[in-house]
A = this chain, B = another copy of it.
Amino acid sequence: MQPTKTLKTEPCPVARTVDLIGDRWSLLIVRDAFDGMRRFGDFQRSLGMAKNILSDRLHKLVDAGILARRDASDGTAYQEYILTPQGEGLFAIVVALRQWGEQHLFAPGEEHSVLVDKRSGKPVPRMALLAEDGAMLMPDVTAVRKVT
């Protein structure tokens, strides 16, 4: 049996990203951080996960430069975890996960949370990969050029 490859040195950017955040808990912690969640206890209540696993994932996200740990903004002894600029760059990933789920994982009429533009209160448009001319780029007109 071939040993499991490490993904950290892969020339594929998808592989490196997946290596860092490609697990359900990391992705959901990042989702909650975009919702404004900052404290250990709040993540724990939201996700219903074991404290040792939450602690491990928060540390990994801090080490990866996705979250930053700082003292609570209200002067209490709590620590807060906030998205760094690099962490905020994960927005497109969270939106893409959301929009696929909205389209495929709810029964007709079944309610789900909605991402809205705060200025209009309206749901955000669907995100898509656009070509230079603004037309939607479908997978079949793209190709991955590998490192040679």
CB distance from A33 to the nearest CB of B (A): 10
CB distance from A135 to the nearest CB of B (A): 10
Interface size class of A (residues with CB under 8 A): 35 or more
- Residue of B16, B105, B112, B124 touching A101 (CB-CB under 8 A): B16
Count of this chain's copies in the oligomeric assembly: 2
Q: How far is the CA of A111 from the CA of B9 in the complex (A)?
A: 11
Given contacts A95-B129, A96-B96, 19 further A-B contacts (CB under 8 A): A2-B44, A11-B111, A13-B98, A13-B112, A14-B28, A16-B101, A18-B28, A22-B27, A34-B144, A89-B104, A91-B129, A91-B138, A92-B127, A114-B145, A119-B141, A120-B132, A124-B131, A127-B127, A127-B130
Interface positions of A (Cβ within 8 A of B): 1-5, 7, 11-20, 22-24, 27-28, 31, 34-35, 44, 47-51, 65, 86, 88-106, 111-120, 122, 124-125, 127-132, 137-139, 141-147
